[in-house]
Chains A and B, each alone.
Chain A
Amino acid sequence: MNEKVISVHNLVKKFGSFVANDHLSFDVYKGEIFGFLGANGAGKTTAIRILSGLSRPTSGEVIVAGYDAHKQPEQIKKNIGYMCQKFSLYEDLTVKENIMLYGGIYGMKKQLIRDRTKNLLERLRFEEYGDRLIASLPLGLKQKLAFSVAVLHEPKIVFLDEPTGGVDPITRRQFWEMIYETAARGITVFVTTHYMDEAEYCDRVSIMNEGKIEALDTPAGLKQKYQAGSIEEVFIRIARPGKN
Chain B
Amino acid sequence: MTTKTIISADRLSKSFGAVKALQDISFEVAEGEIFGFIGPDGAGKTTLFRIITTLMLPDEGKVTVLGLDCVKGFRELRKNIGYMPGRFSLYMDLTVEENLNFYATVFGTTVKENYDLIADIYSHIEPFRKRPAGKLSGGMKQKLALSCALIHKPALLVLDEPTTGVDAVSRAEFWEMLKKLRKHNITILVSTPYMDEAMQCDRVALIQEGKILSVDQPGKITAGFSRKLFSIKAPEKYQLITALREFPLVNTAYPFGDSVHVTFRDDVYDDSLIGFLEAKGVSGVIIAETRAGIEDRFLELMEKK
* A residues lining the B interface (CB < 8 Å): 38-41, 138-140, 162, 165-171, 173, 176-177, 180-181, 183-184, 194-197, 200-201, 219-220, 232, 235-236, 239-240
Contacts and interface: CB of A to CB of B under 8 A. Distances in A.
A240 B302 CA distance: 37
B207 to A, nearest CB: 11
Contacts of A240: 169, 172
| Interface of chain A, main secondary structure | helix
Nearest to A140: B40
Given A41-B137, A195-B194, A173 B258 contact: no
A194 B167 contact: yes
A239 B238 contact: no
A201 B167 contact: no
B293 to A, nearest CB: 9
A235 B241 CA distance: 28
A166 B299 CA distance: 15
Contacts of A197: 196, 257
Interface string B282-305: 000000000000010011001100
B255 A40 contact: no
Given A169-B295, A169-B299, A184-B239, A201 B257 contact: yes
Given A138-B42, A168-B208, A170-B299, 4 more contacts: A40-B138, A165-B193, A166-B164, A168-B40
B166, B254, B295 interface centre (most CB from chain A within 10 Å):
B254
16 contacts: A38-B167, A39-B168, A39-B170, A40-B170, A140-B40, A162-B165, A167-B40, A169-B195, A169-B295, A170-B303, A171-B40, A173-B255, A195-B194, A197-B257, A200-B256, A201-B255
Contacts of B36: none
B41 interface: yes
A173 B166 contact: no
B255 A166 contact: no
Given A139-B42, A166-B193, A173-B254, A40 B137 contact: yes
B87 to A, nearest CB: 13
B139 interface: yes
Contacts of A235: 168-169
B237 interface: yes
A177 B172 contact: no
B258 A232 contact: no
A38, A171, A177, A232 interface centre (most CB from chain B within 10 Å):
A177
A139 B238 contact: no
A40 B258 contact: no
A219 B257 contact: yes
A196 B164 CA distance: 13
Contact of B241 (A180, A183, A219): A180
Contact of A166 (B41, B208, B239): B41
A194 B166 CA distance: 7
A63 B227 CA distance: 49
A38 B237 CA distance: 25
Contacts of B298: 169
Contacts of A166: 40-41, 164, 193
A50 B195 CA distance: 33
B257 A200 contact: yes
Contact of B258 (A39, A195, A201, A239): A201
A197 to B, nearest CB: 6
A111 B65 CA distance: 61
A38 B169 CA distance: 10
A41 B139 CA distance: 10
B238 A183 contact: yes
Contact of B255 (A165, A180, A195): A180
Contacts of A170: 299, 302-303
Contacts of A162: 165
Nearest to A237: B169
A41 B170 CA distance: 12
Nearest to B241: A177
Contacts of B241: 177, 180
Contacts of A139: 40-42
Contacts of A171: 40
Interface pairs A-B: 4 shortest CB-CB: A200-B257, A166-B41, A180-B238, A168-B40
B81 to A, nearest CB: 25
Nearest to A139: B41
Contacts of B41: 139, 166-167
Contacts of B164: 165-166
B258 A177 contact: no
A212 to B, nearest CB: 16
Contacts of B237: 180
A170 B195 CA distance: 12
B302 A169 contact: yes
Nearest to A232: B168
B284 to A, nearest CB: 13
